[in-house]
Amino acid sequence: MTETRIERLQSLSHSDLRRLLPRLFGGEVSVGWSGLVYHAAYPDGRSLQIALGSESVRQLGSLRIISTPLTFIFLHWSPERLTAFMTHYERSLQQGGG
């Protein structure tokens, strides 16, 4: 079994992530929450868990910035599919811009 872990710090709250993460997956993927872990099981045997860490808040003057550490645990993913998923993830949850 090949397992790959990736850690990211996301500037989103738990409630934001609960709303946004399901949008990343198509209808053929079985998904669901178990506490603070989002599970995705693919028909071809791949699986993904996204574990949410504790939220933290940074105060910059009157600006409050919430951040949540995430741990992605990929099982049975090829490097190409993993890279494609992370690119899709980053683009789907991208904030700001101009």
Ordered domains of the chain (ranges, CATH): 3-92 (3.30.1370.80)
User: What's the pTM?
Assistant: 0.89
Q: Over the range 32-57, which residues count as b (16 or more CB within 10 Å of their CB) and which as e?
A: eeeeeebbbbbeeebbbbbbbeeeee
Query: Looking at the predicted structure, is the pLDDT value of residue 2 above 90?
Result: no
Q: What is the pLDDT at residue 44? A: 94
Q: Quick: pLDDT tens for 70-92.
A: 999 999 999 999 999 999 999 98
Q: Quick: pLDDT tens for 24-57.
A: 998 899 999 999 999 999 999 999 999 999 999 9
**3-class secondary structure, 26:** coil
